[in-house]
Chain A
């Protein structure tokens, strides 16, 4: 009796599976044969009534049937679902995904981050100071005598007789040394102001990083080595550079560091005024007069200091030509970095 039922189901399944054309048909077959009350389950139910001696044989047959039909069903189901064209199952994988905007730090901040991380690796702390400064910190204590032509080097915005917008981040060196005894090793990033007409090459404010290291055995040779290490980390190991004498009231001896022009690679062009070199920073040994202002013994301690403009460095690094682009805050610019 059960045997008959088995072949009956087999036949009807074979017919049903052949006529399958949609996932709806598949679902119908699943319900008809494989659900909790489906035909196969009903047969297993009937197994209870079979005689003890028939049971093992019939059980085996039923299992065979189930495995066989399941295999056929799964094969057809996979095919149907893959090729199903009925509307409710269309998925166009080619449509764009839902994008989210990740913001970004300003290119100048990113450039500063890079500079900071290099100097942190060289043992420097990071310090800050006010932008609205006193004449004392910005000039006097940095060995710019009143009425000295050295003051012409930095066009200044004055707030009052004794206060001004700092023209460099160097005053933070004094503030730092006032606060602590040597050793002092820190960089000082910040915003500075110059009373210069706005153009592609200059803006009334920009950013600098100053650095200072004071201890018992700090030398000019170490200054050179440290800055070469910085420049190679920042611009690449194959960098060509030179140091040449310069003048800053707060360092003696003083130097400027040049690197090979990125545009002409040293042959000479408009950007580098035909010299093949681009100046990237100023530096030198801390002038003993500066130590006097912070009560450091200049016989015992020596120190070096350096300073660089972040805009200039970013312009060089990213091949930009107009400094104003940094302060336009055009999203089409900001988004690129």
Chain B
């Protein structure tokens, strides 16, 4: 919201306070000044220039070469405006001037071969309007060489203030002035109404009926007759222009002026265009269309609060007037509406129309029901002054239930308890009074505060405490240097994920954070995806059901950048519908935390002494097992293998705890990879951390290192190719004595010498006993027994014999 400093000064004496002080105090008391336009600074160098002569530029049709007199010298200036003529007084920017739109500086320049020593300005270049049709021509009376800021009265400072939604009272000049009054402890001066009601009795001229009192608790109307629609006087136009509004005509300008002065939106109807000169306030019963004064036809849902006459709708209440009743150049008689509408009703209308106006913005935040009369009278007064109208006697005021100020108790002790320090009670009283609140002392500790209706945000004691501390200044809150820390149990719910991140990074993986919002195709790859009702775009319409699509997007992006060897991980939530119903409670969907490991390209760095190895299934399997060991889940999970293609994997395996699958992974199938534009193998594994968290982790215990020697024996067999390693390994474990503690594969190969469909697998067997040294004999007995049994069971041949 734009606020003019000059305008503010009409309601508060700000002498001896610098502009910088005003800005910083506004920000530091809750009205954040986001931008400042100081016209004195901006227009400092612009002066009145006289165009002495113009002639066509020899090298450019549209340019003129002008001689401009700046009061001292005659300067050659190139001008591109079609309306430049000798004898004009113009806004001249000498060399060194900073042009406010675009922030560029005027320099001596050659334009198409001819020197130019300055610029003749258009309105848009001065930020006075967006008019760029030609240069701005000034009144002949102006003196050449005078400062433009003097001539055009450009000596204001405009603040752009961000008003938080709780402060509708501050959406006006009087509102901001009231805060300044409290901040600087000065008096707020309200404008005086001086009304000369020369017209007929209002009852004879118009009537108002409010059917929907709930949504329109107060409706005030004044009538002014015999008005003359014309341009507003300069002072009014200037005020509006300075805060970025375009002057239209005296009546519209007056209503805009009062809105920005008091915060009360007004609407002016052409009384003669109202059937039966009657206003009826009611809500629509069905869907309707209505043409607003911007000439747009709008669809209104049923139950929209409307202003009607005896026959038709004439305005969308609190949002925008209608074309059918707006002020035109021939309007003679005017009805001024100054109403209080229910904020949520206006908000609903504004939302459903997608239309926010200065009026609706204020009504939906809450205006003051008790300023309506003042605003209507002030409007009537200004209309009679600026449009030569006669104000009708009296006013119509439909206000069946008067809204009274709230009374709230304030305890000084409570103030100190919340804030942690004392603000003197006299200071508190001053602050609250300056904010316009009425005070009554109840006892030493308690004030009874009467809160006027312009502060709908102040409802409770805590709201008063906020007012006190904000005006007193947050800088004045003492800085504590000690805090108490209670000794109750502390916890960290993120600790487990943190442990996993540590393990993954130590295995050489990099963490990614992918967008959980995905396209339908991506999200439905592996689950019952949840749709977003109001998505940003089709590629972010669904919530992810797995971390795999995001990982593949990242893999593809990196490959495109030339980074083809990747080890990545992510920890994040995935979302699945639990049924096909609309989501109405937490049982209708699940949100689970997952972790994915993904590898592709080479698994190691290529080097002069080592060739690269392609990442493959055994790499991902190995990483997963290292990982599982790190979080102490080894020896409790069971692997299951699936060698055929499914919709995600070419082949895959799962890890389960009892019957619970806690992880799945493998080689991503090429159809899926193609969809992501990936043309190299990708292996991944996805853990369900929500499930893993439910498992019981055994606390780690120290195990004494083995005191007695291990006996290690190797053997290799020639098997049929179809024999699986795991089956042989399990057989060995089953058939040997307790002395066998570990079986490992250390070599596998196939060649012609072994025979077709044969392979050799070599095993290392580790024997030991924690309590004694083994004898050669007992190991030998176990070992040779195993050779015999394996040969028989698998029809295998011991190699090396």
A131 to B426, CA, bound (A): 48
Whether A331 lies near B29 (C-beta < 8 A) is: no
A127 to B28, CA, bound (A): 33
Chain B residue contacts of A132, Cβ below 8 A:
530, 543, 575, 589, 591
A91 sits at the interface (CB 8 A): no
Known: A220-B420, A220-B477, A273-B35. A247 touches B166 (CB 8 A): yes
Using a CB-CB cutoff of 8 Å, which residues 107-148 of chain A contact chain B? 108-109, 113, 116, 120, 122-128, 130-132, 134, 147-148
Interface mask (B485-515 → A, CB under 8 Å = 1, otherwise 0): 1101011111100100100111111111111
Using a CB-CB cutoff of 8 Å, which residues 590-644 of chain B contact chain A? 591, 605, 607-610
Interface mask (B281-308 → A, CB under 8 Å = 1, otherwise 0): 0000000000000000000000000000
B424 sits at the interface (CB 8 A): no
Interface mask (B16-43 → A, CB under 8 Å = 1, otherwise 0): 0000000000011110101100000000
Chain A residue contacts of B568, Cβ below 8 A:
329
Chain B's interface size range is 35 or more
Closest residue on chain A to residue B166 by CB atoms: A247
Whether B582 lies near A160 (C-beta < 8 A) is: yes
Known: A102-B505, A132-B589, A183-B486. A160 touches B533 (CB 8 A): yes
Interface mask (A148-174 → B, CB under 8 Å = 1, otherwise 0): 111011000111111101000000000
Whether A150 lies near B517 (C-beta < 8 A) is: no
Which of B94-102, B191-199, B557-565, B706-714 sits within the interface?
A: B557-565
Interface mask (B350-379 → A, CB under 8 Å = 1, otherwise 0): 000000000000001100000000000000
Whether A242 lies near B28 (C-beta < 8 A) is: yes
A319 sits at the interface (CB 8 A): no
Closest residue on chain B to residue A286 by CB atoms: B462
A203 to chain B, nearest CB (A): 8
A221 sits at the interface (CB 8 A): yes
Chain B residue contacts of A228, Cβ below 8 A:
479
Chain B residue contacts of A335, Cβ below 8 A:
510
Whether B586 lies near A134 (C-beta < 8 A) is: yes
A226 to B485, CA, bound (A): 12
Q: Which of B28, B505, B582, B584 contacts A104 (CB 8 A)?
A: B505
A54 to chain B, nearest CB (A): 50
Known: A108-B513, A132-B530. A220 touches B469 (CB 8 A): yes
B695 sits at the interface (CB 8 A): no
Chain A residue contacts of B460, Cβ below 8 A:
288
Q: Which of B470, B511, B540 contacts A105 (CB 8 A)?
A: B511
B714 to chain A, nearest CB (A): 29
Closest residue on chain A to residue B516 by CB atoms: A205
B622 to chain A, nearest CB (A): 15
A246 sits at the interface (CB 8 A): yes
A65 sits at the interface (CB 8 A): no
A225 sits at the interface (CB 8 A): yes
A210 sits at the interface (CB 8 A): no
Chain B residue contacts of A165, Cβ below 8 A:
532, 543
Interface mask (A303-321 → B, CB under 8 Å = 1, otherwise 0): 0000000000000000000
Whether B557 lies near A328 (C-beta < 8 A) is: yes
Interface mask (B34-72 → A, CB under 8 Å = 1, otherwise 0): 110000000000000000000000000000000000000
B239 sits at the interface (CB 8 A): no
Known: A126-B494, A131-B573. A246 touches B30 (CB 8 A): yes
Which of A25-33, A36-44, A70-78, A93-101 sits within the interface?
A: A93-101
Interface mask (A267-291 → B, CB under 8 Å = 1, otherwise 0): 0000001110000000001011000
Whether B466 lies near A253 (C-beta < 8 A) is: yes
B152 sits at the interface (CB 8 A): no
Listed residue (A120, A162, A245) with the most chain B CB atoms within 10 angstroms of its CB = A245
Chain A residue contacts of B512, Cβ below 8 A:
106, 329, 334
B483 sits at the interface (CB 8 A): yes
Whether B504 lies near A103 (C-beta < 8 A) is: yes
Chain A residue contacts of B30, Cβ below 8 A:
244-247
Chain A residue contacts of B83, Cβ below 8 A:
none
Whether A159 lies near B364 (C-beta < 8 A) is: no
Whether A327 lies near B513 (C-beta < 8 A) is: yes
Whether A157 lies near B534 (C-beta < 8 A) is: yes
A34 sits at the interface (CB 8 A): no
Chain A residue contacts of B481, Cβ below 8 A:
225
A211 sits at the interface (CB 8 A): no
Q: Which of A125, A131, A204, A331 contacts B491 (CB 8 A)?
A: A125
B333 to chain A, nearest CB (A): 36
Whether A226 lies near B483 (C-beta < 8 A) is: yes
A45 sits at the interface (CB 8 A): no
Using a CB-CB cutoff of 8 Å, which residues 412-439 of chain B contact chain A? 417-421
Whether A102 lies near B508 (C-beta < 8 A) is: yes
Known: A159-B530, A159-B583, A197-B536. A252 touches B165 (CB 8 A): no
B465 sits at the interface (CB 8 A): yes
A124 to B490, CA, bound (A): 7
B112 sits at the interface (CB 8 A): no
Chain A's interface size range is 35 or more
Chain B residue contacts of A81, Cβ below 8 A:
none
Whether B166 lies near A100 (C-beta < 8 A) is: no
B235 to chain A, nearest CB (A): 30
Chain A residue contacts of B278, Cβ below 8 A:
none
B400 to chain A, nearest CB (A): 24
Chain A residue contacts of B419, Cβ below 8 A:
219-221
A215 sits at the interface (CB 8 A): yes
Whether A158 lies near B365 (C-beta < 8 A) is: no
Chain B residue contacts of A106, Cβ below 8 A:
510-513
Chain B residue contacts of A157, Cβ below 8 A:
517, 532-535
Chain A residue contacts of B749, Cβ below 8 A:
none
Known: A104-B511, A123-B486, A244-B27. A331 touches B566 (CB 8 A): yes
Chain A residue contacts of B113, Cβ below 8 A:
none
Q: Which of A109, A128, A254 contacts B493 (CB 8 A)?
A: A128
Chain A residue contacts of B509, Cβ below 8 A:
103
Chain A residue contacts of B166, Cβ below 8 A:
150, 247
Chain A residue contacts of B480, Cβ below 8 A:
221-222, 224-226
Whether A122 lies near B420 (C-beta < 8 A) is: no
B273 sits at the interface (CB 8 A): no
B6 sits at the interface (CB 8 A): no
Whether A123 lies near B485 (C-beta < 8 A) is: yes
A296 sits at the interface (CB 8 A): no
Whether B501 lies near A109 (C-beta < 8 A) is: yes
A243 sits at the interface (CB 8 A): yes
A239 sits at the interface (CB 8 A): no
B474 sits at the interface (CB 8 A): yes
B737 sits at the interface (CB 8 A): no
Using a CB-CB cutoff of 8 Å, which residues 568-586 of chain B contact chain A? 568-569, 572-573, 575, 582-586
A302 to B608, CA, bound (A): 66
A124 to B610, CA, bound (A): 49
B164 sits at the interface (CB 8 A): yes
Using a CB-CB cutoff of 8 Å, which residues 528-568 of chain B contact chain A? 530-536, 540, 543, 554, 557-558, 561, 563, 566-568
Chain A residue contacts of B494, Cβ below 8 A:
116, 126, 128, 189
Chain B residue contacts of A246, Cβ below 8 A:
30, 32, 164
A126 to B498, CA, bound (A): 12
Whether B517 lies near A205 (C-beta < 8 A) is: yes
B129 sits at the interface (CB 8 A): no
Whether A195 lies near B506 (C-beta < 8 A) is: no
A326 sits at the interface (CB 8 A): yes
Whether A330 lies near B513 (C-beta < 8 A) is: no
A69 sits at the interface (CB 8 A): no
Chain B residue contacts of A287, Cβ below 8 A:
462
8 contacts between A and B (CB under 8 A): A161-B582, A205-B515, A222-B480, A224-B477, A225-B479, A245-B29, A246-B32, A254-B466
Top 9 nearest A-B pairs (CB, nearest first) are: A219-B420, A221-B420, A245-B30, A247-B164, A225-B480, A123-B485, A253-B466, A103-B505, A329-B512
Seed contacts A157-B535, A222-B480, A332-B561; 6 additional CB < 8 Å A-B pairs: A103-B504, A125-B490, A149-B365, A204-B517, A327-B514, A327-B515
